[in-house]
Structure 1
Amino acid sequence: MDRAALRLILLGVFLVSASSQPVKKKQYVDIYSFYINSTVTSRYATTVITSRVANTVNESQEIQFEVKIPKNAFISKFRMTIEGKIYDGVVKEKHEAQQQYSRAVSRGESAGLIKSVGRTLEDFKTSVTVAAFSKVTFELTYEELLKRRLGKYELLINAQPMQPVADFKIDVHIQEKPGFSFLEVEGDLSSGDLANAIKTTRADKDAWVTFYPTQDQQTKCESCGESGLKGDLLITYDVERSSHKGEVMVSNGYFVHYFAPSDVSRIPKNVVFIIDRSGSMNGRKIHQTRLALLKILSDLDEDDHFGLITFDSEVKTWKNELLKATKENLETAKSFVKEIRDRGATDINAAVLAGVDMIHRHPREGTASILILLTDGDPTSGTDSLTNTS
């Protein structure tokens, strides 16, 4: 199955099947091995999660496998190995897969079903029926391009095997041709007694991070308990940047250009905040909007200029011109923001036009002009509302 088809796991369902005994509602399973192996090459990560589970009773039962993957990752392979036989995932329509799974279970066959759980598509869950005293191996591979945020790349690994595991390992190998400017290990699983289970090794262009907690350590961390580890390991790093032109990587006829200039001067901003105060913003929405505005205003620099526009069915301008972001002006603006209350309909079109006009009336050479619209949804009055209902 090619990569494009495998990505359909986000929309479809994987189904595998094999022979076994009737299902019983008991849960005596032993996760005797749990490995997470992640390899990062030139900021591209491939992570393989392998869980080996044994049914320890003399009757068939359903065994679950749950994983969390980063938001921007995609699954490139899912496989189950049952009684020595390998079963790769096949994409089915959700209804068809559920029917086939139910028929297999009713016949006493081993059948596995994997589907996305939750709205973010970050959680995945599999259940498989395993025969008496049999074993199953789950293998999930996902890939992602690491993104640089606030001067560092982040590799996030979640560990939640659902019970203490005798053979638990996380192995991470990072290869970066420019070398490393720094590398750190953070997250829930790097604190307390678990910190002693982490080892970091760095060479010129390679770095290794291992995490081998004992069963005893897996029950004593802040986020642990009888169900074992439950938390994240966050590996952050950045590469050396000897050239301001960046770095070009070429592989198999493709190339990627990495650059993160550090000597770019900051550009002053002309920013107008357009704030929805219509009736639909009642309660938590208007409260969150006020909090967001107060935070953003605090982040403005003194060479920035700003304005505030509130709107419902009418548009109101706080000041007729853009003000310099001095301490005094910001304090006055914050007092105004704290008094914003919800009311009326929603005329987004008129409010945005007012913001554009304010920007145009106060041009400044060498600055960036920005409109920030804070609203919860569609317009209910003005030009845009007529367009939406046509």
Structure 2
Amino acid sequence: MIRDLEVLPLRNGASAQKISVKPETPVATEISNEKNVCRITFSPNIVQQAKISTSGMLGDFLVRYDVQRDMGIGDIQNVVFVIDTSASMLGKKIRQTKDALFTILKDLRPEDHFNFISFSSKVKVWQPGRLVPVTPLTVRDAKKFIFTLVPSGGETFRTWSYTNTGLCLDRT
């Protein structure tokens, strides 16, 4: 469901105007906001267009909105992150992977448990044989582990697959 729908004042893309707390909707703008559909129509007449801009270039038409979110906390998560650290992950791929892992760590809750397995020509398990509860200390240590991930060597799919299965079975 869409909520908090606002059509912001027209602005020239080159200007860095601040948007006020209660912005005025541009003239000749109609907003229809139903449960799952919003329709915004901007149709100024010739006189209104001339007042907005003499060159015919209007700039940016901005819409600000939010959606209704389910705030349920969900079930306890037991997660094993399996990370490819083979040479194929050099550069942008490993940076994106690390960024994603840092973001995911922020979203884990105290009742969750997690671990990391990295694999290339060797398999590295962060906390061997167990899933770790989420605490400030374990999250700090996990971040250190993520920082140490460096792509090298080839892939050893069979070995990491076996290691991963063992960790998952310990918590079921």
Length-normalised TM-score, structure 2: 0.71
| CA deviation after TM superposition for structure 1 residue 326, in Å | 0.7
1:344 paired residue number: 153
Q: Do 1:277 and 1:311's aligned partners in 2 also have CA atoms closer than 8 Å?
A: yes
The aligned counterpart of 1:192 is: 9
Letter in 1 for 2:91: G
Q: How far did 1:208 drift? A: 5.5
Report the identity percentage.
26
Superposition deviation, residue 203 in structure 1? 8.4
State the Cα deviation string for residues 248-301 of structure 1 (Å, max 9, x = none): xxxxxxxxxxxx9x6966200000000111011111111111111111111101
| 8 Å CA contact retained: 2:32, 2:39 | yes
Cα distance, 1:192 vs structure 2: 3.1
1:301 aligns with 2:109: yes
Equivalences for 1:195-210 in 2 at 5 Å?
Answer: 195-197=25-27, 198-201=29-32, 209-210=40-41
Q: Does the 8 A contact of 2:86 with 2:120 survive in 1?
A: yes
Q: Which runs of 4+ in 1 moved over 3 A?
A: 201-204, 206-209, 215-218, 231-238, 262-265
Aligned residues: 149
Q: Which of the numbers 362, 366, 372 marks the counterpart of 2:171? A: 362
Question: Could you tell me how far apart the structure 2 residues matched to 1:313 and 1:192 are?
Answer: 57
- 2:73 and 2:65 mapped to 1: Cα distance? 29
Equivalent-residue separation in structure 2 for 1:347 and 1:361 (angstroms): 22
Q: Report the CA distance between 1:237 and its aligned residue.
A: 6.2
Q: Is the 8 A contact 1:313 1:344 kept in 2?
A: yes
CA distance in 1 between partners of 2:139 and 2:30 (Å): 47
SS at match of 1:196: coil
1:330 to 122, 139, 160: 139
Confirm or deny: 8 A CA contact 1:315 1:351 kept in the other structure: yes
Partner of 1:274: 82
For 1:39-50, what aligned pairs fall within 5 Å after superposition? none
CA distance in 2, matches of 1:347, 1:358: 17
Deviation at 1:338, TM superposition (A): 1.1
Counterpart of 2:107 in structure 1: which amino acid?
Answer: D
C-alpha distance in 2, partners of 1:284/1:310? 17
Alpha-carbon spacing, 1:200–1:277, altered in 2? closer, same or farther (3 Å) = same
AA in 1 matched with 2:168: I
Aligned residue for 1:121?
Answer: none
Any idea what SS the aligned residue of 2:109 has? coil
| Greater percentage in strand | 1
Alpha-carbon spacing, 1:357–1:342, altered in 2? closer, same or farther (3 Å): same
- Determine if contact 1:184/1:237 at 8 Å carries over to the other structure: no
Structure of greater relative contact order (alpha carbons < 8 Å, 6+ residues apart)? 2
Corresponding position of 2:99 = 291
Contact 1:280-1:342 at 8 Å conserved across structures = yes
**1:219 is paired with a residue of what secondary structure?**
coil
Equivalent in the alignment of 2:22: none
Cα separation, partners in 2 of 1:342 and 1:265, compared to 1, 3 Å = closer
Rg (Cα) greater in structure:
1
Structure 2 unaligned spans of 5+: 12-24
Give the Cα–Cα distance (whole angstroms) in 2 for the partners of residues 323 and 263 of structure 1: 25
Alignment of 1:46-85 (within 5 A): none
Once the two structures are superposed, what CA deviation does each residue of 1:285-323 show, in whole Å capped at 9, x if it has no partner?
111111111111111011000001010012111111111
Q: Answer whether contact 1:309 1:315 (CA < 8 A) is retained.
A: yes
- Normalising by structure 1, what TM-score? 0.34
2:110 match: secondary structure: coil
Paired letter, 1:210: T
**What's the counterpart of residue 128 of structure 1?**
none
**Structure 1 residues 196 and 302, CA, compared in 2 at 3 Å: closer, same or farther?**
same
SS in 2 for 1:184: strand
CA offsets, 1:178-216, max 9 Å, x none? xxxx4614xxxx433364143325689x97532125364
